[in-house]
């Protein structure tokens, strides 16, 4: 979407609607949009969270959710683009499900955009999504992507690997594990896909951790980028790491980490079926993971970032550089 195609005067930025605005990625995207001179409409549900997460200047908060037609109309009316960031890691009860929060929510955004004639959509998906997977997280994300692709909108899709950064859920998990404050208290768990021979390390999948600021910067860069129209961008940092190395690297920057706590593998298959059983018994909320996460963690979650680098000037920092920078500003 160029300034010419949006009817904006030279030097005038668009107004962008953001769903999931108070989430970990959302608040970074909102801040980057404001920093780049965009006007922002930010959808939120929790008022205190909005006060804590959203900048005061340049942002118009809209209370509601994607299933509230009135709120969605208010959110997107008069906007030039929508950034859709709503997503969940775990299913909770009958209302917070992958089908509802990934697929149905995306359809609601598309419907609202069409009704208000907002044709530019930037959609957040995830690396590794595919139609045939045992991980419902991945298949639901793929179904959401399919809705976006089939829509008449001018779309761009992002598929990030593991997103890290201060205040993020994964960083908080690692801090809790490394200090022994969170279960399992005695080790930092990861899911392995193959049983090793005696004396060998168990094999895990690899991740390509990417900092939330790098993801947010790519999202904002894509809004006015003609090359980004109809493109899918995979985002990852410069380093593909197995989970042992990843956890050990992050532990180095955890204040008061317990030196005796080390990464330890848990069978991904065992964890998957255990989470399924807990879910059927109504006890899924007592586990810090669902059935999808062990399946995904056993696979490689890596990508090629050349297209994002060429189109969006995507130049991500390494995990260690990110952690070192955050530690210096803590």
Residue 198 — pLDDT band, cuts 50, 70, 90? low
Separation of alpha carbons 315 and 308, rounded Å? 9
Report whether 190 contacts 178 (CB < 8 A): no
Tell me what the mean pLDDT of segment 237-245 comes to.
95
Q: Which CATH superfamily is domain 15-161+211-236+302-316 in?
A: NAD(P)-binding Rossmann-like Domain (3.40.50.720)
**Segments making up each domain of the chain, as ranges:** 15-161+211-236+302-316, 169-206+242-298
Best CA proximity match to 36, nearest among 256, 216, 266: 216
pLDDT digits (tens, 9 = 90+) for 254-308: 999 999 999 999 999 999 999 999 888 888 878 888 999 999 999 999 999 999 9
| Peptide bond connecting 251 to the previous residue in cis, omega within 30 degrees of 0 | no
DSSP code string of 299-323:
S-B----HHHHHHH---PPPHHHHH
Q: What is the chain's mean pLDDT, rounded?
A: 92
> For the whole model, what pTM was predicted?
0.93
Q: What is the pLDDT of residue 330?
A: 77
Question: Contacts by 173-177 with C-beta closer than 8 Å and gap 24+?
Answer: 173/288, 174/247, 174/250, 174/251, 174/254, 175/254, 177/247, 177/261
| Token duo for residue 298 | 């056993």
**Mean pLDDT lowest among 1-5, 89-93, 251-255:** 1-5
């Amino acid at each position: 979407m160029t300034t010419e195609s949006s009817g904006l005067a030279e030097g005038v930025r668009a107004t962008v609607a953001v769903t999931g605005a108070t989430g970990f990625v959302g608040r970074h995207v909102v801040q980057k949009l404001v920093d780049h001179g965009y006007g922002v409409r930010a959808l939120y549900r929790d008022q205190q969270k909005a006060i804590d997460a959203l900048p005061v200047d340049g942002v118009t908060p809209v209370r509601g959710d994607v299933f509230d037609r009135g709120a969605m109309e208010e959110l997107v009316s008069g906007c030039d683009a929508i950034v859709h960031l709503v997503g969940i890691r775990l299913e909770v009860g009958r209302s917070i499900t992958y089908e509802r929060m990934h697929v149905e929510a995306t359809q609601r955004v598309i419907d609202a955009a069409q009704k208000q004639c907002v044709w530019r959509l930037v959609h957040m998906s995830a690396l590794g999504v595919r139609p045939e997977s045992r991980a419902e997280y991945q298949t639901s994300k793929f179904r959401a992507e399919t809705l976006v692709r089939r829509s008449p909108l001018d779309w761009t899709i992002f598929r990030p690997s593991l997103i890290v950064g201060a205040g993020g859920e994964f960083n908080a998990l690692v801090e809790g594990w490394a200090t022994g404050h969170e279960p399992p208290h005695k080790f930092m768990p990861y899911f392995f896909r193959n049983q090793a021979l005696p004396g060998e390390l168990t094999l895990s999948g690899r991740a390509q951790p990417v900092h939330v600021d790098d993801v947010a910067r790519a999202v904002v860069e894509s809004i006015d980028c003609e090359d980004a129209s109809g493109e899918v961008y995979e985002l990852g940092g410069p380093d593909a790491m197995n989970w042992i190395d990843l956890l050990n690297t992050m532990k180095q920057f955890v204040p008061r980490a317990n030196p005796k706590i080390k990464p330890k593998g848990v069978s991904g298959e065992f964890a998957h079926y255990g989470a399924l059983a807990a879910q059927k018994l109504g006890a899924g909320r007592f586990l810090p993971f669902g059935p999808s996460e062990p399946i995904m963690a056993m696979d490689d979650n890596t990508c090629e970032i050349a297209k994002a680098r060429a189109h969006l000037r995507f130049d991500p920092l390494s995990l260690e550089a990110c952690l070192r920078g955050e530690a210096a500003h803590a």
